[in-house]
Homo-oligomer: A and B are copies of this chain.
Protein backbone atom coordinates (compact mmCIF):
# COMPACT_ATOMS: atom_id res chain seq x y z
CA UNK A 1 0.00 0.00 0.00
CA UNK A 2 1.59 3.24 -1.16
CA UNK A 3 1.47 6.46 0.80
CA UNK A 4 0.31 9.76 -0.67
CA UNK A 5 3.12 12.31 -0.77
CA UNK A 6 0.95 15.04 -2.30
CA UNK A 7 0.76 16.91 -5.60
CA UNK A 8 4.44 17.81 -5.77
CA UNK A 9 7.13 17.92 -8.45
CA UNK A 10 8.94 14.87 -7.11
CA UNK A 11 9.32 12.91 -10.34
CA UNK A 12 12.94 11.82 -10.64
CA UNK A 13 15.57 12.01 -12.12
CA UNK A 14 15.79 15.55 -13.49
CA UNK A 15 18.79 17.17 -15.19
CA UNK A 16 21.11 20.03 -14.23
CA UNK A 17 21.34 22.22 -17.29
CA UNK A 18 22.68 25.74 -17.79
CA UNK A 19 20.47 27.81 -20.06
CA UNK A 20 22.46 30.41 -22.02
CA UNK A 21 20.97 33.65 -23.35
CA UNK A 22 21.83 37.19 -24.41
CA UNK A 23 19.96 40.02 -22.73
CA UNK A 24 18.74 43.06 -24.70
CA UNK A 25 22.12 44.76 -24.36
CA UNK A 26 23.92 41.67 -25.63
CA UNK A 27 25.32 40.62 -22.25
CA UNK A 28 25.61 36.81 -21.98
CA UNK A 29 23.89 35.08 -19.08
CA UNK A 30 23.34 31.54 -17.84
CA UNK A 31 20.91 30.08 -15.35
CA UNK A 32 20.54 26.62 -13.87
CA UNK A 33 17.41 24.71 -14.83
CA UNK A 34 16.18 21.29 -13.76
CA UNK A 35 12.72 21.51 -15.30
CA UNK A 36 13.36 20.27 -18.80
CA UNK A 37 14.03 17.32 -21.07
CA UNK A 38 14.05 16.08 -24.62
CA UNK A 39 10.57 16.23 -26.14
CA UNK A 40 10.80 15.19 -29.81
CA UNK A 41 13.17 13.17 -32.00
CA UNK A 42 12.22 14.70 -35.37
CA UNK A 43 12.61 17.64 -35.41
CA UNK A 44 15.01 17.14 -32.48
CA UNK A 45 13.58 19.28 -29.66
CA UNK A 46 14.31 19.99 -26.04
CA UNK A 47 12.40 21.94 -23.40
CA UNK A 48 13.36 24.11 -20.47
CA UNK A 49 10.84 25.74 -18.15
CA UNK A 50 11.59 29.08 -16.54
CA UNK A 51 9.73 31.40 -14.21
CA UNK A 52 8.71 34.76 -15.66
CA UNK A 53 10.68 36.43 -12.86
CA UNK A 54 14.00 35.14 -14.17
CA UNK A 55 16.34 37.36 -16.16
CA UNK A 56 16.62 34.64 -18.81
CA UNK A 57 12.88 34.54 -19.52
CA UNK A 58 12.70 37.84 -21.41
CA UNK A 59 16.00 37.08 -23.12
CA UNK A 60 14.62 33.91 -24.72
CA UNK A 61 11.43 35.69 -25.77
CA UNK A 62 13.41 38.48 -27.42
CA UNK A 63 16.21 36.51 -29.04
CA UNK A 64 14.12 33.44 -29.95
CA UNK A 65 17.04 31.25 -29.01
CA UNK A 66 18.82 29.60 -26.10
CA UNK A 67 21.60 27.14 -25.48
CA UNK A 68 22.02 24.40 -22.90
CA UNK A 69 25.51 23.95 -21.50
CA UNK A 70 25.74 20.66 -19.62
CA UNK A 71 28.05 20.93 -16.61
CA UNK A 72 30.02 17.95 -15.38
CA UNK A 73 30.12 16.81 -11.78
CA UNK A 74 33.44 18.62 -11.36
CA UNK A 75 31.47 21.82 -12.08
CA UNK A 76 28.82 21.24 -9.41
CA UNK A 77 29.79 24.33 -7.38
CA UNK A 78 29.55 26.62 -10.41
CA UNK A 79 26.26 25.03 -11.50
CA UNK A 80 24.83 25.64 -8.05
CA UNK A 81 26.12 29.22 -7.99
CA UNK A 82 24.53 29.95 -11.35
CA UNK A 83 21.18 28.97 -9.83
CA UNK A 84 21.60 31.12 -6.72
CA UNK A 85 22.29 34.58 -8.18
CA UNK A 86 20.56 36.59 -10.91
CA UNK A 87 22.10 37.82 -14.13
CA UNK A 88 20.53 41.19 -13.28
CA UNK A 89 23.06 41.60 -10.49
CA UNK A 90 26.05 39.44 -11.35
CA UNK A 91 28.14 38.56 -14.39
CA UNK A 92 27.90 34.83 -13.80
CA UNK A 93 30.40 33.92 -16.51
CA UNK A 94 33.05 36.11 -14.88
CA UNK A 95 32.27 34.86 -11.38
CA UNK A 96 32.68 31.24 -12.51
CA UNK A 97 35.82 32.03 -14.43
CA UNK A 98 34.05 30.86 -17.58
CA UNK A 99 34.03 32.24 -21.11
CA UNK A 100 30.88 32.90 -23.14
CA UNK A 101 31.09 31.64 -26.72
CA UNK A 102 28.71 33.19 -29.24
CA UNK A 103 26.91 30.42 -31.12
CA UNK A 104 27.31 30.79 -34.86
CA UNK A 105 23.94 29.08 -35.39
CA UNK A 106 21.57 30.68 -32.89
CA UNK A 107 21.43 34.04 -31.11
CA UNK A 108 22.67 32.82 -27.74
CA UNK A 109 25.95 32.10 -25.96
CA UNK A 110 27.22 28.88 -24.42
CA UNK A 111 29.85 28.00 -21.85
CA UNK A 112 33.26 27.23 -23.34
CA UNK A 113 34.26 25.20 -20.27
CA UNK A 114 31.38 22.70 -20.33
CA UNK A 115 32.21 19.76 -22.58
CA UNK A 116 28.74 19.39 -24.09
CA UNK A 117 26.40 22.09 -25.37
CA UNK A 118 23.06 22.19 -27.19
CA UNK A 119 22.15 25.07 -29.50
CA UNK A 120 18.43 25.76 -29.81
CA UNK A 121 16.13 27.93 -31.87
CA UNK A 122 12.92 28.81 -30.04
CA UNK A 123 10.07 26.82 -31.55
CA UNK A 124 7.17 27.25 -29.15
CA UNK A 125 6.21 28.84 -25.83
CA UNK A 126 3.75 27.01 -23.58
CA UNK A 127 2.35 28.99 -20.65
CA UNK A 128 1.66 26.64 -17.77
CA UNK A 129 1.47 28.68 -14.56
CA UNK A 130 4.46 29.57 -12.40
CA UNK A 131 6.69 28.23 -15.16
CA UNK A 132 6.65 28.79 -18.89
CA UNK A 133 7.90 26.00 -21.10
CA UNK A 134 10.25 26.99 -23.91
CA UNK A 135 10.50 24.36 -26.62
CA UNK A 136 13.64 24.67 -28.67
CA UNK A 137 14.61 22.91 -31.87
CA UNK A 138 18.10 21.47 -31.51
CA UNK A 139 20.13 23.03 -34.34
CA UNK A 140 23.40 21.46 -33.29
CA UNK A 141 25.14 19.64 -30.46
CA UNK A 142 28.74 20.61 -29.86
CA UNK A 143 31.23 18.70 -27.74
CA UNK A 144 34.85 18.69 -26.71
CA UNK A 145 36.74 15.92 -28.46
CA UNK A 146 37.80 14.55 -25.06
CA UNK A 147 34.22 13.43 -24.26
CA UNK A 148 33.42 11.82 -27.59
CA UNK A 149 33.09 8.05 -27.69
CA UNK A 150 31.70 5.45 -30.08
CA UNK A 151 30.05 6.76 -33.25
CA UNK A 152 31.54 10.16 -32.41
CA UNK A 153 28.75 10.69 -29.89
CA UNK A 154 29.25 12.07 -26.37
CA UNK A 155 30.18 9.35 -23.87
CA UNK A 156 28.07 9.83 -20.73
CA UNK A 157 30.88 8.48 -18.53
CA UNK A 158 33.14 11.27 -19.77
CA UNK A 159 30.50 14.03 -19.90
CA UNK A 160 29.52 13.13 -16.32
CA UNK A 161 26.24 15.09 -16.29
CA UNK A 162 24.55 15.77 -12.97
CA UNK A 163 21.20 14.74 -11.54
CA UNK A 164 19.10 17.21 -9.57
CA UNK A 165 17.42 15.75 -6.50
CA UNK A 166 14.44 18.03 -6.02
CA UNK A 167 13.11 16.16 -2.99
CA UNK A 168 16.15 16.90 -0.84
CA UNK A 169 17.79 19.61 -2.94
CA UNK A 170 21.12 18.17 -3.87
CA UNK A 171 23.25 17.05 -6.80
CA UNK A 172 24.26 13.53 -7.77
CA UNK A 173 26.58 12.07 -10.37
CA UNK A 174 25.94 9.26 -12.83
CA UNK A 175 26.44 5.80 -11.34
CA UNK A 176 27.13 2.35 -12.67
CA UNK A 177 26.22 0.99 -16.07
CA UNK A 178 23.17 -1.26 -15.69
CA UNK A 179 22.88 -2.74 -19.15
CA UNK A 180 22.33 -2.16 -22.85
CA UNK A 181 18.95 -1.13 -24.21
CA UNK A 182 16.84 -3.55 -26.27
CA UNK A 183 19.03 -6.25 -24.81
CA UNK A 184 18.70 -6.74 -21.04
CA UNK A 185 14.91 -6.79 -21.43
CA UNK A 186 15.07 -9.95 -23.50
CA UNK A 187 15.44 -11.93 -20.29
CA UNK A 188 11.80 -11.11 -19.52
CA UNK A 189 9.53 -13.75 -20.97
CA UNK A 190 6.55 -12.90 -23.12
CA UNK A 191 5.01 -16.12 -21.97
Interface residue ranges, A against B (CB under 8 Å) = 2-15, 17, 34-47, 49, 68, 70, 73, 76-85, 90, 94-96, 116-118, 123-124, 126, 128-131, 133, 135, 137-145, 148-156, 159, 161-191
Contact = CB atoms under 8 A, between A and B. Distances in A.
Given A10-B154, A11-B46, A175-B176, 15 more contacts: A2-B143, A5-B153, A9-B138, A10-B118, A40-B130, A41-B131, A84-B182, A90-B190, A133-B135, A153-B167, A153-B168, A155-B167, A156-B163, A170-B181, A173-B178
- What is the copy number of this chain in the assembly? 2
Contact of A35 (B41, B168, B183): B41
B172 A174 contact: yes
A-B pairs with lowest CB-CB distance, top 9: A37-B37, A80-B185, A81-B185, A173-B175, A175-B175, A81-B188, A2-B142, A40-B128, A153-B167
